[in-house]
Structure 1
């Protein structure tokens, strides 16, 4: 159903999104994939991909659209028969909202979206990795020219370019899967059946300075509860992501409670080559979330405009590289991985290998102390027994 796209043709930015969603069977969903559902012709301005991830008692609808700024929308319902309805005449109209619905509407439990709104570039003249007034005009992704979705099995590739690009281009690759697991490439993020994975790649985009660094602007959009709170969790286990002991989480909750409705999660690391390796790792950081205009994001994204009537929007930037790290020009490549989903984010536990190493590392000294204590006690008892009483 899809032709596999080459993820390094000419130079581009790739974003991989993987959806694994919750159901009564926590390890499996049945996937149904359709491009431009209900349309009798090819839409002129971009495609709409719809994935139904069906469980025993629920469904997660995953929609990916290139009408304007690329947008990833997921809607969780409590019905295994819910579906998406699109009024294409209204959906293609620039000033019309409410053209896309999940029916029955009463089955919707939670909905959220992430908009890939802008790519920002600045000249780090002092090698401080601190964005200053040296920003170049941003790349607004809503103004890119997008090719048609290229589908292959459970993956979809979307490529586009800004008018100023020469050999570089910007691509988003979406992958959906029906079971939980772990990404095969660094940073080897663990995905549950409630999550989606997004891999961003910046490849061959022409830099506008000799010391260029990039930032990616993300906008989280929701009805009542968009992603709004940032958390940073630490771990002592770096088996799957060497040298990285933290994970950043952008979560949605009700009135700041501990119950998470949706999340975006990532390791604060990016990679400077197509085949990521430890020596190619470069740190990344995020800004504090900030409220945005819902009207502005509706104007930028056709999917947001079609589904939400009065959305809340929160944005943040992810910056790549720290002071002293190589600049983008060193390889003209950058990749970063993001996990998105509903419910609580998956948590890495100690693997059997790490448990065994800890057991050996901590257990051996304890055994030596125990054996040494027993030997000292036995030696003292023998010495005491060899003394003769004095009359």
Structure 2
């Protein structure tokens, strides 16, 4: 009977932990082949301004292609174009593109293969004096706001020296001629991915082969007040017929981003439908030091997206889109009681941009193990107890009194 109980216990544990590891092994296996080009097709006499570059990232799938474009002249922009062809290519009319004289100077051909296009543009950096320590820019007096930093007027470091072919990353930093940026800069690092994964550094956003990541940080900028906080203005430009909204989803697992149980998703859907074609995704947290630790985390908030009447001052947007719609929102950093920017003179934030449904955080190994133990232990007790009672009953029924001589 002892051997039967042991066998039953082992079988039950095998079932429970087998199910748990089945969850763990259910990762996305889809991969893309990623290549990075700098100024593709640019030949004399066409020349870009000094330090300016156009980067084309091509992510080839089994039956489609993602094209990412970055351009550091004007407002920093990432343009995503999804083509249902594995043979699609990008075409640039360089004289027209450089002069910004007409839309259509940047294309993905064949144009009929293009299924979806969306650009994410970083337009302004706002600074305000939070004397009352409310960290609520929407209800802060206009007199507390300083003139915004227009990112279209920034001078950016050249992309030429920052393209990393092996890691599929591109980085550029910029600033203006004001005293605030003498020793400081605003930097962006773009990363493309061949497969599913998660960076080790917080916020450790889960990515897949259908998206890219932008890591943004403000470093060494001299604030214009002792109580300064910052807000970043973003705009998305997409094909007409699409609408934007921000969904906020909750989770019970914060292992990858400690103390953060939500994710914000600025999704793009055709009008009158809920089908998501593209997204911008972030966790509502920023960090006040280059190497994030729990003590340096600061929450961030977003405003609701609003429709914009004009296109942002972006060379990529003006070169690619012919019929488009623009939305904008602000990401504000910090909450009431949090340290102000001048405590560390550093602030970083990370966002994903991709096609299709946003990645969903699966339960971590730790959470799955806890669930397996929590659910498996009662199950084992019930099974073993039931079998034990059944065996005792059968043993009792088969035992009779011996006759007495």
Normalising TM by the smaller chain, what interval?
A: 0.7 to 0.9
Choose between structure 1 and 2: higher strand proportion.
1
Partner of 2:22: none
1:105 pairs, out of 101, 106, 111, with 111
- Equivalents in 2 of 1:137, 1:105: separation in Å? 41
After superposition, give the CA deviation of every residue in 1:164-209 in whole Å (9 maximum; x if it has no partner).
1110012222222312211121011110111111111111111111
Q: Is the 8 A contact 1:226 1:314 kept in 2?
A: no
1:32 aligns with 2:38: no
1:43 pairs, out of 35, 48, 55, with 48
Q: CA deviation at 1:362?
A: 4.8
Partner of 1:270: 286
- Equivalents in 1 of 2:127, 2:385: separation in Å? 63
Give 3-state SS (helix, strand or coil) of 1:356's partner.
helix
CA 1:109–1:184 in structure 2 vs 1: closer, same or farther (change >3 Å)?
same
Q: Is the 8 A contact 1:269 1:283 kept in 2?
A: yes
- Equivalents in 2 of 1:174, 1:337: separation in Å? 10
- Equivalents in 1 of 2:71, 2:359: separation in Å? 26
Q: Is the 8 A contact 2:298 2:334 kept in 1?
A: yes
TM normalised by structure 1 equals 0.85
Runs of at least 4 residues off by over 4 Å: 362-376
After superposition, give the CA deviation of every residue in 1:27-84 in whole Å (9 maximum; x if it has no partner).
2211221111111254016211001111221111110011210100010101111111
- Equivalents in 1 of 2:191, 2:383: separation in Å? 54
Q: From the CA coordinates, give the structure whose radius of gyration is larger.
A: 2
CA 1:30–1:329 in structure 2 vs 1: closer, same or farther (change >3 Å)?
same
CA 1:172–1:366 in structure 2 vs 1: closer, same or farther (change >3 Å)?
same
Q: CA deviation at 1:93?
A: 1.4
Partner of 1:90: 96
1:117 aligns with 2:123: yes
Instruction: State the aligned residue count.
Output: 352
Partner of 1:152: 164
Higher relative contact order (CA 8 A, sep 6+): 1
Partner of 2:185: 169
Partner of 2:320: 307
Choose between structure 1 and 2: higher helix proportion.
2
RMSD over equivalenced CA pairs, Å: 2.3
User: How do 1:187-266 residues align onto structure 2 when only pairs under 5 Å count?
Assistant: 187-226=203-242, 228-266=244-282
After superposition, give the CA deviation of every residue in 1:133-179 in whole Å (9 maximum; x if it has no partner).
21110001000011211222222121211111110012222222312
Q: Is the 8 A contact 1:157 1:174 kept in 2?
A: yes
Q: Is the 8 A contact 1:195 1:341 kept in 2?
A: yes
1:331 aligns with 2:347: no
Q: Is the 8 A contact 2:124 2:234 kept in 1?
A: yes
Q: Is the 8 A contact 1:220 1:226 kept in 2?
A: no
After superposition, give the CA deviation of every residue in 1:62-116 in whole Å (9 maximum; x if it has no partner).
1001121010001010111111111111111144222111111011011101001
What runs of 5+ residues in structure 1 fail to find an aligned partner? 1-24, 383-391
User: How do 1:274-353 residues align onto structure 2 when only pairs under 5 Å count?
Assistant: 274-294=290-310, 296-297=311-312, 300-353=313-366
What runs of 5+ residues in structure 2 fail to find an aligned partner? 1-27, 397-405
- Equivalents in 1 of 2:30, 2:109: separation in Å? 25
Partner of 2:149: 139
User: How do 1:62-81 residues align onto structure 2 when only pairs under 5 Å count?
Assistant: 62-81=68-87
TM normalised by structure 2 equals 0.82
Deviates more, 1:101-110 or 1:248-257: 248-257
CA 1:124–1:78 in structure 2 vs 1: closer, same or farther (change >3 Å)?
same
